[in-house]
């Protein structure tokens, strides 16, 4: 069975140093350069269309960036995603199509930010990618819905992402397990990468201080672990969200979710 979150690290020797000579560097973050994707049932998220690859004249099918950034965005959504939503949101959160329709029609409304701030907390930002994919993790009773809507992600009219619109659900515990697996696999591979550099089994384009890299590794490990800690406070002010959403629904009475 495929993992929900899959990735491949780029070979160390192929990762270009940051900065300008003689001040060149390769941090732990930089050394996580690689490709990333999400296996959402029969759809693969973060995978480019053939048309946009042809337009850009590149061959890499999956999103290519530092995997630490992907992990930060994905894992940063875990705590909000697994938290049960308040009752006033159930009928909206249970209908991905209706939710996205309501968002689109109310985008210019003054109450939009507060009405949908809760969804933003459950959506990986990925702003470092051109036409970043629109993905959300939403709790529906004992399941997590992975929803995506990339229909507006266009470059010169060309669809950027292979998975255009859809959703995939899995149990909350399975989602948590996949998120922990993503964290652990990335950390394990990065520790192994530093160890190989230390032993001379792989070489970067510049000399590296493995002592510093191990320290950075510990810092990132602590950050990733922190995303799984139980929160004592709600991720958004729910009373404000409810009031704002009520204004939205009154302004767009014929655009309801559920």
Q: Is the pLDDT of residue 256 over 70?
A: no
One-character DSSP codes across 132-177: ---EEEEEETTEEEEEEE-TT-EETTEE-BS--EEEEEEEHHHHHH
CB 145 within 8 A of CB 167: yes
User: Tens digits of per-residue pLDDT, 126-170?
Assistant: 999 999 999 999 999 999 999 999 999 999 999 999 999 999 999
253 confidence band (pLDDT: 50, 70, 90): confident
Structural domain contains residue 10: no
17 confidence band (pLDDT: 50, 70, 90): very high
In this predicted structure, what is the pLDDT of residue 14? 98
Higher pLDDT, 254 or 170: 170
Cβ neighbors of 163 (< 8 A, separation 6 or more) are: 40, 43, 44, 45, 47, 133, 148, 150
Domain of residue 167: give its range: 26-251
Structural domain contains residue 13: no
Structural domain contains residue 94: yes
243 confidence band (pLDDT: 50, 70, 90): very high
Structural domain contains residue 4: no
Structural domain contains residue 30: yes
Nearest to 155 by CA among 61, 58, 63, 51: 51
User: Tens digits of per-residue pLDDT, 24-73?
Assistant: 999 999 999 999 999 999 999 999 999 999 999 999 999 999 999 999 99
In this predicted structure, what is the pLDDT of residue 21? 87
Structural domain contains residue 158: yes
In this predicted structure, what is the pLDDT of residue 255? 65
User: Tens digits of per-residue pLDDT, 187-207?
Assistant: 999 999 999 999 999 999 999
In this predicted structure, what is the pLDDT of residue 146? 98
Q: Is the pLDDT of residue 258 over 50?
A: no
Structural domain contains residue 21: no
Give the whole-number percent of the chain exceeding pLDDT 70. Answer: 98
Q: Is the pLDDT of residue 1 over 80?
A: no
Cβ neighbors of 79 (< 8 A, separation 6 or more) are: 227, 228, 229, 230, 231, 235
Nearest to 238 by CA among 86, 119, 123, 91: 86
- What angle in degrees, to the nearest 10, is found between the helix axes of 96-105 and 112-120? 140
Structural domain contains residue 148: yes
In this predicted structure, what is the pLDDT of residue 231? 80
Nearest to 32 by CA among 1, 3, 78, 73: 73
Total domains, the chain: 1
């Amino acid at each position: 069975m495929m993992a929900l979150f899959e990735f491949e690290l780029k070979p160390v020797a192929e990762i270009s140093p940051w900065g300008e000579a003689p001040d060149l560097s390769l941090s732990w973050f930089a050394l996580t350069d690689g490709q990333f994707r999400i296996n959402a049932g029969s759809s693969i998220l973060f995978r480019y269309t053939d048309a946009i690859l042809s337009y850009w004249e590149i061959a890499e099918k999956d999103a290519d960036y530092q995997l630490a950034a992907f992990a930060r965005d994905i894992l940063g959504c875990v705590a909000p995603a697994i938290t049960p939503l308040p009752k006033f949101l159930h009928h909206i959160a249970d209908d991905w199509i209706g939710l996205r329709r309501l968002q689109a029609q109310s985008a210019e409304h003054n109450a939009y930010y507060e009405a949908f701030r809760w969804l933003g907390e459950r959506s990986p930002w990925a702003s470092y990618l051109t036409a970043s994919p629109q993905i959300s993790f939403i709790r529906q009773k004992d399941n997590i819905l992975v929803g995506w809507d990339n229909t507006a992600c266009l470059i010169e009219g060309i669809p950027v992402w292979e998975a255009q619109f859809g959703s995939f659900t899995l149990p909350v515990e399975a989602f948590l397990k996949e998120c922990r697996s993503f964290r652990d696999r990335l950390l394990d591979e990065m520790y192994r990468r530093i160890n190989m550099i230390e032993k001379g089994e792989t070489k970067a384009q510049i000399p590296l201080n493995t002592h510093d890299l191990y320290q950075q590794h510990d810092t990132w490990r602590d950050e990733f672990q922190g995303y799984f800690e139980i929160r004592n406070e709600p991720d958004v002010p729910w009373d404000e969200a409810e009031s704002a959403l009520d204004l939205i629904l009154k302004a767009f009475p014929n655009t309801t979710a559920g």
